[in-house]
Amino acid sequence: MSGAMLPPLLLVGGGKMGGAMLAGWLEQGLSPSVVVDPAPAAQALAGPAVTVVDSVSDLPPGFEPCCVVLAVKPQQADAVLPALARFAGRAVFVSIMAGRGVAGLLAALGSASSGDPAQAAIVRAMPNTPAAIRRGITVAFAGPGVSDGQRSLADALLCAVGEVAWTTDEALIDPVTALSGGGPAYVFLLAELLEQVGLKQGLPADLARRLARATVAGSGALLAVSNEDAAALRVAVTSPNGTTERALAVMMAEWPDTISRAISAATARSRELGA
């Protein structure tokens, strides 16, 4: 779909992730589309190619999306999907809701009196917030009935905000949610803690903040362009018997187990959301 205008979309949920993805689609050239979000702040998303409405019942007459993107909270799925069932069989559904599996989405669509959930083509995807600067990464799973053309459309939409990887095992989306979906928060926490510790060590507040942010951002940029493993890059910074080695000795005593438990907890929560 390179060079082609993206077809009409229905984005349900115009929050941070939905809004970030919409910005990427507009850069690619988006056909007239609609965002459904009752929050007053969602009106900021409106523009020449985007109409914002409060509910599905307010969609413009005759509007027919090629794709319905579900970007609401997973707890809202059962309330939102029945009104969208009429698009089953005509549009591909791309869900970025944590935890909500294809089977559960089909069931929610089937709770409406219209539409045939058996015909619903659903792609389940998990992006992350660097999508806001087109540096996100998304893992996607195509459910039963998704055609090659629908998968290509979903891939084009997701590629507009960063890298995309596809899996044939839907169960992997839960650990993906824990690792990369929530991963930016873990990195931001590191920057936050480095700044706080800098203050405790006597650094001026503005310098501590600048050092923490630039160190995390610069290290991420180096990792992005390097062909070396992260472990090799870490070793390259660590002089024998030096200051970094002393710091890492403290971190390595606790971090591996802490990170493992944290990701396991997030994975478990993702599965709970889909129960």
The model's pLDDT over 146-155, given as tens digits with 9 standing for 90+, comes to 999 999 999 9
* Sequential DSSP letters for 239-252: -TTSHHHHHHHHHH
Please classify residue 61 by burial: count the beta carbons closer than 10 Å to its beta carbon, then call 0-12 exposed, 13-18 middle and 19+ buried. exposed
The Cα–Cα gap between 54 and 89 comes to 24
Q: Is the pLDDT of residue 1 over 90?
A: no
> How is residue 44 written in tokens?
């900021």
Looking at residue 118, its pLDDT comes to: 57
Q: Is the pLDDT of residue 119 over 80?
A: no
Residues 6+ apart with CB under 8 A from 148: none
The Cα–Cα gap between 65 and 225 comes to 38
Q: Tell me, what amino acid is at 135?
A: R
Name the band, by pLDDT with cuts 50, 70 and 90, for residue 112: very low
Looking at residue 5, its pLDDT comes to: 80
Q: Is the pLDDT of residue 21 over 70?
A: yes
Give percent helix, percent strand, percent coil of the chain, each to the nearest 5. Answer: 55, 15, 30
> How is residue 225 written in tokens?
């362009």
Looking at residue 117, its pLDDT comes to: 53
Residues 6+ apart with CB under 8 A from 150: 67, 92, 121, 123, 142
What tens digit of pLDDT does each residue of 73-106 get? Answer: 988 888 899 999 999 989 999 999 999 999 999 9
Does the 183-273 domain belong in CATH 1.10.3720.10?
Answer: no
Handedness of CA 258, 263, 267, 272 (dihedral sign): positive
The domains of the chain are located at 9-173, 183-273
Q: Tell me, what amino acid is at 142?
A: A
Looking at residue 92, its pLDDT comes to: 96
Residues 156-176 have a mean pLDDT of 95
Question: What kind of architecture, by CATH, is found in domain 9-173?
Answer: 3-Layer(aba) Sandwich (3.40)
Q: Tell me, what amino acid is at 51?
A: T
What tens digit of pLDDT does each residue of 233-275 get? Answer: 999 999 999 999 999 999 999 999 999 999 999 999 999 988 6
Cα separations in angstroms, 71 against 103, 124, 144, 201: 17, 11, 21, 42
Handedness of CA 194, 263, 231, 249 (dihedral sign): positive
Evaluate whether 52 touches 28 at the Cβ level (below 8 Å): no
Quote the pTM value.
0.88
Name the band, by pLDDT with cuts 50, 70 and 90, for residue 3: very low
The Cα–Cα gap between 109 and 127 comes to 23
In the block, tokens 């403290």 appear at: 250
Nearest-10 crossing angle of helices 243-252, 255-273: 50
Looking at residue 123, its pLDDT comes to: 97
Chain-centre distance for alpha carbon 89: 25
Q: pLDDT over 70 for what percent of the chain?
A: 95
What tens digit of pLDDT does each residue of 173-214 get? Answer: 999 999 999 999 999 999 999 999 999 999 999 999 999 999
Q: In which element (H, E) is residue 213 found?
A: helix 205-225
What tens digit of pLDDT does each residue of 41-81 get? Answer: 999 999 999 999 999 999 999 999 999 999 999 888 888 99
Looking at residue 39, its pLDDT comes to: 92
